[in-house]
Amino acid sequence: MVRDNGHQINRAAPVDEPDGAVNELPAPRATGRRTRFVRNVYGNAAAETFLIIAITTILVTRAYLALTDYPQVGGGSLHIAHALYGGAAMMVALLMGWLLLGFTARTITVVIGGIGFGLFLDEVGKFVTADNDYFYGPAAEIMYVMVLVILVANRLVRVVRAPTVDEYLANAAAIAATGMAGGLPAHRRGAARAMLDRAATGGADPRAVHGIRLLLDAAEHRVDRLYSVQQFAPRLVPGFLRSPRWVPIIGWVLVAASAAGVITGVVALLTGGLTLRTADTVIDLDRMGIAELILFLSACLTFSTAAPAAVCYRRTGPLWPLQTLRVAALIFTVLNAFADFATEGFGAVAAVGWVSSRWPSCPIRSPYESVCPHRQQPIGRSRNQARPIHRGDVVPDRTSTSSLYSLEPLGSHS
C-alpha cells in the first residue's frame, strides 16, 4: 500500500503508456449509489441563452411584420406560417445535437433552437383560438408564462441538490473528450481540473481521475474568441458602476419603491378610489383592478423580502442579505411584468429578456471564489463532515447550493 496525494491506495497492475514508461494507477475505492441523472455544467447557461434568443426573435419578428404590413408568404389560398420555419429550425437543432460533438456544435444548436422556438411561440395566438387569431390579446401573457415556467424549471434543476461526485467527474470527462477533438481554451481546461479536484476530494475513483487528467493534458490549446469578448465587454462598463457599493443603494431604492406601492394599494383598498387636488398637483387613485392587484401583491412581497435584507446587508457580512435582495428584485420584476403585459402588450417583452439575463446567480471570477467576487471563501469539505464521501453522495460546498454551475461565469458555454 502506498500513499498518493493523501489517499491510501493499493498498488494496481501497471499500465503501459505510449512512450514506454510504466505508470501505476491506484485501485478504485468503494462507491455508493450512482447518480441517475447527471446535470451538465453548461446546461443552465445554454437554456438561459436559448430563451433570450427566443425572446429577441419574437420582438424582431413582430417588428418586421409590422413594418412590412404583415405579408403573406405563399400567395393565393396558401399561407406558410413562420411557426413552420420555427419547427424546422428546432428539428435542425435537435439533429445537430444528436449528430455532432463539441462546444461549437452546442453553440450553434442553442442559437438555431432559440430562433426556432421564438418563431414557433410567436404564433401561439393561432394555436389557442378557433379562428387562428395571430393578434389574440392574451398571446403576450401566454408567452410570458411559458418563458417564466422554463426559467423556473431551469433554476430548480440547478438548485434542487448540491452537485455529486459523479457530476463533477462526468462533466470533467465530457470537457476532456471534447478537447481531444477540437482543443480546449485555458478557462475550460481550468474548470475541468477544478471539478476533478472536487471529485477526488469526494472519493472518486483515482484511476478515473488520473485518466481524465491525462486527456486534459493531451488536449491541444484553442483560443476561445467568444469567451475573450465576454471577458472584455464588462471592462467597458466604468468601474464605479460595477462597485459593490451600489448594492445597498439599489436595495434601499427597491425598498422605497415597494413601500410606495404598498401604501398606494392600501389606500385604494380602503377608500375604493381617491382624488386629491391642490393648486398645482392632482393625485387620482382609481379602484383596484386585476393589474393593480398584481402590482399591490408584488409590492407587498418585495417589501417583505427587501427591507430585512437591506437592513442586515454588510459587505463583509453573511451572504443571505445579498441573495435575498436578488430574490426581491426578481419578484418585483416578474410580477410587475404581468401587469405590464395587461396594459402594454408586447411592449413588456423587453422586461422578460431582462429577467432572463438576470436570472442566474452572481458569477464568480474563478473556481476558488465565492458566489460574488467581493465575498471570497475557500472551497472545500465542510467542517462538520465526519464520514468519507462516496460516489453518488453530495459534495458539501460552503459557497452555494448551485456550486456545480459556479466553476466559471455563466454564459460561457459556447
Q: Beta strand 7-9 with 2-4: parallel, antiparallel or unpaired?
A: antiparallel
Interatomic CA distance for residues 326 and 360, integer angstroms: 10
Confidence of residue 79 (pLDDT cuts 50, 70, 90): confident
* Confidence label for 299 from pLDDT (cuts 50, 70 and 90): very high
pLDDT average, residue stretch 89-115: 93
Lowest mean pLDDT among 24-28, 69-73, 246-250, 264-268: 24-28
Average pLDDT, the chain: 75
Does residue 394 sit in helix, strand or coil?
Answer: strand
Percentage, residues of the chain above pLDDT 90: 28
Query: Under a CB-based contact definition with an 8 Å cutoff, are residues 411 and 103 in contact?
Result: no
pLDDT band at 88 (very low <50, low <70, confident <90, very high): very high
Residue 191 CA: distances (Å) to CA of 10, 41, 362: 29, 10, 17
What pLDDT is attached to residue 1?
Answer: 43
Q: What is the mean pLDDT of residues 60-78?
A: 83
Q: Which residue has the cell 471570497?
A: 376
pLDDT tens, position by position, 190-239: 999 999 999 998 888 899 999 999 999 999 988 888 888 877 877 887 87
Instruction: Check pLDDT > 50 for residue 355.
Output: yes
Confidence band, pLDDT 50/70/90 cuts, at residue 95:
very high
pLDDT at 56 exceeding the cut of 50: yes
Of 366 and 291, more confident = 291
Give the pLDDT of residue 315: 81
How many Cβ atoms are within 10 Å of 209's Cβ, its own excluded? 23
CA atoms 286, 287, 291, 296: torsion sign: positive
Q: Find the Cα–Cα–Cα–Cα dihedral 279, 274, 293, 340, rounded to 10°.
A: -30
Q: What is the pLDDT of residue 408?
A: 39
Q: Which amino acid is at 240?
A: F
Per-domain residue ranges of the chain: 43-73+80-159, 162-221, 239-345
The pLDDT of residue 280 is 64
Q: Highest mean pLDDT: which of 30-44, 270-284, 324-338?
A: 324-338
Compute and round to an integer the Cα radius of gyration of the chain.
26
Structure confidence by residue, pLDDT tens digits, 245-290? 888 998 999 999 999 999 988 887 777 655 556 666 665 556 667 7
Q: What is the pLDDT of residues 363-383, one digit of tens each?
A: 333 333 333 333 333 333 333
Higher pLDDT, 76 or 299: 299
pLDDT at 148: 85
Residue 350's pLDDT is 57
Q: Are 310 and 251 in contact (CB under 8 A)?
A: yes
DSSP line for 254-275: HHHHHHHHHHHHHHHHHHSSEE
